[in-house]
Amino acid sequence: MQLSKRLEAIVKLAGTCHCVADVGTDHGYIPIYMTEHHLTEKAIAMDVNKGPLERAQRNIRAYRMEQQITTRLSDGVAKLKAMEADCVIIAGMGGLLTIRILEAGKEILTTVPTMILQPQSEIGQVRKFLAEHGYRITAEDMVLDEGKYYPMMRVEHGSQEEWTEQEYAFGKYLIVSDNPVLLEFLEKEEKLCGEILQSLKGKSGEHIEKRRGEILERQELVRLAKEQMR
C-alpha cells in the first residue's frame, strides 16, 4: 500500500507498537499499512460514522487482515478499552474536535503511552491544551502534501516546560530543528499578513481594528519564530 506524504509522516512518528488504535480511520489505510509493514502486531480502526468504517472494512478484507485489524463504530476513543492500545492516532480532524476527543477519553487515554496527533486547525490551542493537561510533546514533523501544510506531533504523558507563544503557535521542535517546511510556511504567512494589512489601510471601524490587531499579533509571532530559526 502506498500512503500519502501526510499519512506516511504520521506512521513514521508512530514508529513501532504492539497495538495501534486509529481514531477517525476513514479508509483504514494507516492500520493496514502498519500491519503490512510489521510496525504493529494488531490494530483497531475506529470511526464515528458507518460509511468510513465500511470502507475500512472492505479494504481490510481486500488485504486479508481481518485477524489482525478490528473495526469499531466509536465516537473518539469511547469504545477503546483500558490498556488495549499502546499508541493512539488522532489525525485529520479539527483542533477543537481533537481536544474534545482528548477530554472525553481522558480516563482511557491515561493507559495509552503514546499518541500521534495531526490536527487540521487550532493547532496552537491543541499544543496548549496538552501542556495544561499532563501531556508533553516529544517530537514534531511537518509536511507539504498536495498544496496543504500538515504539522503533527508525538505526545506522551508527563510535564512539559513552558513554551513561548511562537512555539505554541508553530511547534517548538519544528522551530529549533529549522524544519524547512515550517520555514516555507512562515514565509507564506509573513507575505499573507503583509497583504492583509495593506488591504486594511485607510479603513476604520471596530471590526477593522480588531482584524488589524489579530494580523499584527500573527505577524509578530511569525517574526519571532523565523528569528529563532536563524
**Which CATH number does 5-162 carry?**
3.40.50.150
Q: What is the mean pLDDT of residues 34-42?
A: 97
Q: What is the pLDDT of residues 105-142, one digit of tens each?
A: 999 999 999 999 999 999 999 999 999 999 999 999 99
Q: What is the pLDDT of residues 80-108, one digit of tens each?
A: 999 999 999 999 999 999 999 999 999 99
Residue whose entry in the numeric block shows the C-alpha cell 500521534: 116
What is the average pLDDT score of the chain? Answer: 97
Q: Report the C-alpha gap between 25 and 61 in whole angstroms.
A: 15
Instruction: Give 208's pLDDT tier (boundaries 50, 70, 90).
Output: very high
Q: What is the pLDDT of residues 166-188, one digit of tens each?
A: 999 999 999 999 999 999 999 99
Q: What percent of the chain has pLDDT over 70?
A: 100
User: At residue 230, does pLDDT exceed 80?
Assistant: no
* pLDDT confidence of residue 91: 97
Look up the pTM and report it: 0.95
Domain boundary assignment for the chain: 5-162, 181-229
Q: What is the pLDDT of residues 60-82, one digit of tens each?
A: 999 999 999 999 999 999 999 99
* pLDDT confidence of residue 1: 85
More confident residue, 26 or 139: 139
167 close to 175: Cβ distance less than 8 angstroms: yes
* pLDDT confidence of residue 23: 98
